[in-house]
Amino acid sequence: MKKGGFFAGRLRSVIFAVMLLAVGALAAVYAVYRAGIDPGADLMKKMPSGTSLSIENLRHTAARHGRTEWELTAAAARMIPEKNAAALDEVSVVFYMDNGSRVHLTADSGILETGTNDLTVSGNVIVRRDEYRLATETIHYRHRARTLAAENPVTISGDALFLEADTAVFDLDTRKLRFEGGVHGAIDQKLEM
């Protein structure tokens, strides 16, 4: 064997070993880096004060005990980390009822409290269930209680009725709607309960 061939073979072995060590070191550095990342971290809590985050075409689903209670979509959302909330534009919500029916809510804007899933919507608020339609300017949804509360004048209309009231509360679990203050309207004689 030639002297030059022996040293060239040794040099290739040393270069190969150095390359293996470099790849191994890079893999170790990457593993340490990934271990420091919390993939389930709450983005809102980690955002520094004054940071802004905007999302287009937001979709949010709220579930409890393995059951979807409601789904929200919004054309845009701006996160407000110091309030643990999101400001929403063009809001649409579908509430799922125990009996399989759905309640649809639309509004121009809203604020979603991300810690509690409470929601306040305003501007051309419309709530629809079956053939009934409730119109108002602002509604508060309380996730724990599963209630929609309008603390300003409401109008309810449907095929067989028309009602107006100063305030209204709709319980999504019991499907009962309670009116208060200045309640008046008309109910068609053909309405069956």
Q: What is the mean pLDDT of residues 46-75?
A: 80
What percent of the chain clears pLDDT 90, i.e. is strictly above it?
A: 44
pLDDT of residue 64: 81
Question: With bands split at pLDDT 50, 70 and 90, how would you rate the model's confidence at 118?
Answer: very high
Q: Is 45 exposed, middle or buried (0-12, 13-18, 19+ CB in 10 A)?
A: exposed
Query: 23 falls in which pLDDT band (50, 70, 90)?
Result: confident
Give the C-alpha separation, 113 to 121, whole Å. 11
The amino acid present at 97, given as its one-letter code, is: M
pLDDT of residue 19: 74
pLDDT tens-place string over residues 136-156: 999 999 999 999 999 999 999
Percent above pLDDT 70 for the chain: 76
For the segment 178-188, the average pLDDT, to the nearest whole number, is 88
